[in-house]
Amino acid sequence: MTKKIALHPKHPERICWGCDKYCPADSLRCGNGSERTPHPVELFGDDWQEWGLDAVEKPVDAAER
């Protein structure tokens, strides 16, 4: 089960957001590389949730059940 991502972290630059370990930026334990993965708020701004980046679920047909 995956951890939920913090929507508006106080200091997103201090954490690597690339996996569920949320390592400090200077201690990448997962082997994600030599660079930390930024939080969406760093990439898209404070309104990143309003962009509609959530996965869209497909409706299930009654015949498939």
Domain residues for the domain of 38 are 11-45
CB 11 within 8 A of CB 18: no
* Residue 38 maps to a domain: yes
* Residue 1 maps to a domain: no
* Residue 31 maps to a domain: yes
* Residue 15 maps to a domain: yes
pTM above 0.75, yes or no: no
Q: For residue range 5-60, list pLDDT tens digits in order.
A: 888 889 989 988 888 888 888 887 877 667 888 888 888 888 887 877 666 667 77
Other beta carbons within 10 angstroms of residue 22's beta carbon come to 15
Residues 6+ apart with CB under 8 A from 21: 29, 30
* Residue 22 maps to a domain: yes
Q: How many domains does the chain have?
A: 1
